[in-house]
Amino acid sequence: MSTHQLAALARTAEPRLMLRRFLALDAAVTGANALAYLALSGPLGRCLGSGLLLALGAFLAVYAGCVGLLAARSRPPALAVRAVVEANLAWAAVSFAALALWLTPTTAGAVWTVLQALVVAAFALLQHGALRQDQGSSA
């Protein structure tokens, strides 16, 4: 993704702010997902065909908090950002593998699994691109 495209999405051309915004957006979306899974695990579980939502909600709440803390730092450490990027890519890959190999969700659950995996992979790509921009501007 080009610098111009990243800047347009982040609404800033400043690489560090761009990175922090993409991390914050990831934390917000993940946190909202976590809250929904925690508060509505029964009804959502029936709709999506999954009994894992309560445990996933707890995990995602912790993860969102960690990503949010990273986004709040004026200078997010590159190693920590790389860990978030890799965790997001792993989440997306495991989502697709689980869908193909062991999950038996409803149609809505299958669609949701694919959509959330694509969103998480997009966060990883945006964060990676912004990190590269930030490191290029610091050199």
| Cβ pair 126, 9 in contact under 8 A | yes
Q: In percent, how much of the chain has pLDDT > 70?
A: 89
Residue 27 burial (C-beta neighbours within 10 Å; 0-12, 13-18, 19+): buried
pLDDT recorded at residue 139: 53
Residue 98 pLDDT exceeds 80: yes
Residue 30 pLDDT exceeds 60: yes
The whole-model pTM stands at 0.89
Phi and psi dihedrals of 71, rounded to 5? -65, -30
Helix or strand (DSSP H, E) at 30: helix 15-39
The confidence band for 134, taking pLDDT boundaries of 50, 70 and 90, is confident
pLDDT recorded at residue 3: 60
Q: Stretch 55-79: mean pLDDT, rounded?
A: 97
